[in-house]
Chains A and B, each alone.
Chain A
């Protein structure tokens, strides 16, 4: 609990997070205003999808920077050494730090979206399940990129390194991953499309968009070709879980390794 409180104080006193979050607020409001003119019956679906598309660009950057700098601050101010000495193991520190960062950032996003949905509830026909699907997709997005950010925070030695690593990570997920897939696309056939599907959906932004759009009934999986049918044969929920496992757990293990290396030094 003390970790969460400490994290909250650090976050609420720092300007960077709020400034960045102000961008999320401004962008969300602009999306809401542009969606206002949509027909009430379908407005909520489209509004939530537009919100997710916006989040897909902003949330990775925000979470990477916030989580990684939070760890870097502990390292620079030497509070990490003190906490590790007090609590006994770097693993415990990592676990508690991750839990605190995750809880606070998720809470900030969830509270804001509950506020944002109030006017949307009056303008559109409201489906609670749709809103919950959106919240789940956003929370998973926050979780994955926070965890990667924490990993980078442990891996980097200086702030400059960390900025570079964060930008690379964002660039990797938003541009590079798909760019590589585009070049291997000609070699994909019906026989290996399952493997390609797994690799494609191992990009959290793809898996979460697929999950959200199918849950909202926006993305039609009817009348597909044989290859496409095979490509989309994995359940969206399972793909999201796979991403959480691979990126979340992967980043956690990497953080563990890097924190031990730091300790050895």
Chain B
């Protein structure tokens, strides 16, 4: 019994004793003094960086805990596995662009680490994973300088040669790219919110990643998938990504990706496909974008099925010549909205004849890029209608099994009309009295 008591006391004091930051001790000294797998609890004060963590350790901050770097190098470097950092604010990494290394608020060189509830400010990159695998980054907030210069600052989360990481519920504002994957495979990005960046999410040479429930809003581009294959994008929202070159999602030299159940709302272009093949686009909503889907002829064999293309200025535009894409899959096409004016006499939910979407916008765009200026102008609708009447438009998409659904908006308009009529009658009666 006595022996067990001694062992328990030994474990209690030497392995899991929370240590308060003693007065006069630097954070690095605290880390050096802590045992492996120990826990350091920080108080709500500012600690000086830069620090290096080279043993498994848990660091938990309190309200107001700030770790401030010296403006040169990484504020926190994690070089050992199984490090946990929670509830801290990290600021002031090195921002120099003339050094060999790009610095970050937190740079991770090891595996199986957890970073949670962290805010990173005034740093070049927010969190940088360098050949680091199986890490979890959750509820992290990275606030960039939002200075507009591409090289002026780094990315919110930079994932470099790192695999099997989980990036969940992070918020990134005003960095170069929100999350940048560079030669990084088998990672999962879920529930992240990215705004005011160049590309909310940017994949380069990164395959087999998954990408769920993220929101990309007010970026220059929502997500750019370049030279990357077999990515699953599901349940993401691409909203209000506006600007002459903006898009919700860009596929460039990206093949065999699955784009399912996403929402593209009020973007300059919803989906922009260039030099990409064999992508599967299913059950997405393209609503009120200037261009729903822009396809360059260099892209072949995409499949579009069960998508809803509603109230986009131009639903589909195809640039650079003929393409070879399918607008239906196993007898199921897409919902083209009210403008399609399809008949469904046998009421099987599909149009009785194939739907051909024609447009002449591509001619304008091919002649002069300034044509994109007119996407928000009602004149373009008239221009399209005149060209359709003259049969000068070209067929952009042929859907052999278009879906027919009743529009819910019709009842809304009837409601508004009714309200208007009641108001007018009411006013007339008052006038008579």
Q: Which of A88-96, A157-165, A220-228, A250-258 contacts B (4 or more CB under 8 A)?
A: A220-228
8 of the cross-chain contacts (CB-CB < 8 Å) are: A23-B420, A42-B195, A179-B383, A182-B374, A185-B370, A186-B367, A218-B240, A227-B370
Q: Which of B28-36, B204-212, B213-221, B252-260 contacts A (4 or more CB under 8 A)?
A: B213-221
List B contacts of A225 (CB < 8 A): 369
- A223 pairs with B220, CB closer than 8 A: yes
List A contacts of B215 (CB < 8 A): 39
CB of B242 closer than 8 Å to a CB of A: yes
- In the assembled complex, the Cα of A174 lies from the Cα of B381 at a distance in Å of 12
List A contacts of B383 (CB < 8 A): 179, 182
Residue of A nearest to B431 (CB): A15
CB of B423 closer than 8 Å to a CB of A: yes
Residue of A nearest to B196 (CB): A217
CB of A213 closer than 8 Å to a CB of B: yes
CB of B148 closer than 8 Å to a CB of A: yes
Q: Which secondary structure dominates where chain A touches chain B?
A: helix
- In the assembled complex, the Cα of A19 lies from the Cα of B419 at a distance in Å of 12
- A185 pairs with B367, CB closer than 8 A: yes
Tell me the smallest distance from the CB of B325 to a CB of chain A, in Å.
Answer: 27
- A175 pairs with B382, CB closer than 8 A: yes
The answer to whether A196 and B378 touch (CB under 8 A), given A15-B427, A26-B416, A222-B148, is no
The answer to whether A222 and B220 touch (CB under 8 A), given A213-B242, A228-B369, is yes
List B contacts of A181 (CB < 8 A): 374, 379
CB of B392 closer than 8 Å to a CB of A: no
- A227 pairs with B369, CB closer than 8 A: yes
- Produce 1/0 per residue, B327-343, CB < 8 A to A: 00000000000000000
CB of B371 closer than 8 Å to a CB of A: yes
Residue of A nearest to B367 (CB): A186
CB of B244 closer than 8 Å to a CB of A: yes
- A222 pairs with B367, CB closer than 8 A: no
- In the assembled complex, the Cα of A164 lies from the Cα of B178 at a distance in Å of 52
Pairs A-B, 10 closest by C-beta atoms: A220-B243, A178-B379, A178-B377, A179-B379, A220-B220, A186-B367, A175-B379, A185-B368, A222-B148, A182-B383
Q: Which secondary structure dominates where chain B touches chain A?
A: helix
- A178 pairs with B198, CB closer than 8 A: no
The answer to whether A174 and B242 touch (CB under 8 A), given A15-B427, A182-B383, A188-B370, is no
- In the assembled complex, the Cα of A134 lies from the Cα of B111 at a distance in Å of 49
List B contacts of A228 (CB < 8 A): 244, 369-370
- B369 pairs with A178, CB closer than 8 A: no
Name the contact of B379 in the complex, choosing from A26, A182, A213 (C-beta under 8 A): A182
- A220 pairs with B367, CB closer than 8 A: no
The answer to whether A193 and B243 touch (CB under 8 A), given A179-B379, A217-B218, A222-B148, is no
- A219 pairs with B367, CB closer than 8 A: no
List B contacts of A223 (CB < 8 A): 150, 198, 220, 245
List A contacts of B378 (CB < 8 A): 174-175, 178
Residue of A nearest to B149 (CB): A222
CB of A45 closer than 8 Å to a CB of B: yes
CB of B193 closer than 8 Å to a CB of A: yes
List A contacts of B217 (CB < 8 A): 39, 42
The answer to whether A222 and B243 touch (CB under 8 A), given A19-B427, A217-B196, is yes
CB of A46 closer than 8 Å to a CB of B: yes
Name the contact of A224 in the complex, choosing from B150, B240, B244 (C-beta under 8 A): B244
CB of B232 closer than 8 Å to a CB of A: no
- Produce 1/0 per residue, B365-406, CB < 8 A to A: 001111101101111101100000000000000000000000
Chain B contact residues (Cβ within 8 angstroms of A): what range?
35 or more
CB of A191 closer than 8 Å to a CB of B: no
Name the contact of A182 in the complex, choosing from B218, B369, B380, B431 (C-beta under 8 A): B380
- Produce 1/0 per residue, A91-128, CB < 8 A to B: 00000000000000000000000000000000000000
CB of A264 closer than 8 Å to a CB of B: no
CB of B246 closer than 8 Å to a CB of A: yes
Tell me the smallest distance from the CB of A218 to a CB of chain B, in Å.
Answer: 6
Residue of B nearest to A196 (CB): B370
- In the assembled complex, the Cα of A93 lies from the Cα of B379 at a distance in Å of 38
CB of A247 closer than 8 Å to a CB of B: no
- B423 pairs with A22, CB closer than 8 A: yes
Interface residues of A in 8-40 (CB under 8 A from B): 15, 19, 22-23, 26, 30, 39
CB of A130 closer than 8 Å to a CB of B: no
- In the assembled complex, the Cα of A133 lies from the Cα of B66 at a distance in Å of 36
CB of B62 closer than 8 Å to a CB of A: no
The answer to whether A45 and B370 touch (CB under 8 A), given A179-B379, A185-B364, is no
List B contacts of A218 (CB < 8 A): 218, 240, 242
List A contacts of B374 (CB < 8 A): 178, 181-182, 185
List A contacts of B427 (CB < 8 A): 15, 19
Residue of A nearest to B171 (CB): A41
- B419 pairs with A219, CB closer than 8 A: no
CB of B17 closer than 8 Å to a CB of A: no
CB of A131 closer than 8 Å to a CB of B: no
Residue of A nearest to B373 (CB): A200
- In the assembled complex, the Cα of A184 lies from the Cα of B198 at a distance in Å of 32
CB of B424 closer than 8 Å to a CB of A: yes
List B contacts of A177 (CB < 8 A): 379
Tell me the smallest distance from the CB of B222 to a CB of chain A, in Å.
Answer: 12
List A contacts of B377 (CB < 8 A): 178
List A contacts of B218 (CB < 8 A): 42, 45, 217-218
- Produce 1/0 per residue, A192-236, CB < 8 A to B: 010010001000000001000100011111111101100100000
Other than the given A174-B378, A182-B374, A220-B244, 4 more pairs (CB < 8 A) read A42-B195, A222-B243, A228-B369, A228-B370
